[in-house]
Amino acid sequence: MTVTPQFKGVHLFDRLCWAKETLDGVQSDIRIVFEDPNDMDAPAKILVPDLNWVAAAENGGVLPPVESYWELAKDEAQPDFVKHTRGYLLHNTEPVGPMTETTGPYGGWVNYLIMKDIPQHIWQTWNEGNKPKMVICRKEQLPATREWRNAWKISEELATDHNIAA
């Protein structure tokens, strides 16, 4: 078992480098498919978890709390935003503990990744409206090829097992 150093106060980039060099990557077949209701003509987007990021999440002690990213996003949304001045939110906060796909802080690394990388207006209201804006599925539930990729949409006949169709 790998012993994780005390990373509070260590730059996030250095933590992620440590994780990549030290931990074995964890390949996941989880895919998060989402559509932005503010851009109805855009194809569905697919979030694929990085194997090194998943290893860091499952190990624990590397990633900052997801709220740190939210605060930085608020800064970026300001009209006078030039550059980040609150990087300490990523580097000086206590890292989150170990997570599996569905257990741990934030309900698991899948939820953490959704809250970190998908716009809040999508994941906070994913099931409101005429059809879901986001689904969590397995790689094999996606079309086998990228043909017609720019026309992919979340299937309106969405089954309870979160199938997706082109």
The domain segmentation of the chain, as residue ranges, is 12-151
Distances (CA, A) of 156 to 61, 124, 139: 39, 19, 19
- CA dihedral angle for residue 155, residue 157, residue 159, residue 163, rounded to 10 degrees: -20
Mean pLDDT of the chain: 86
pLDDT of residue 84: 85
Q: Does the structure show a pLDDT above 70 at 159?
A: no
Instruction: Give yes or no for residue 15 having a pLDDT over 80.
Output: yes
Sign for the CA dihedral angle at 20, 24, 27, 30 comes to negative
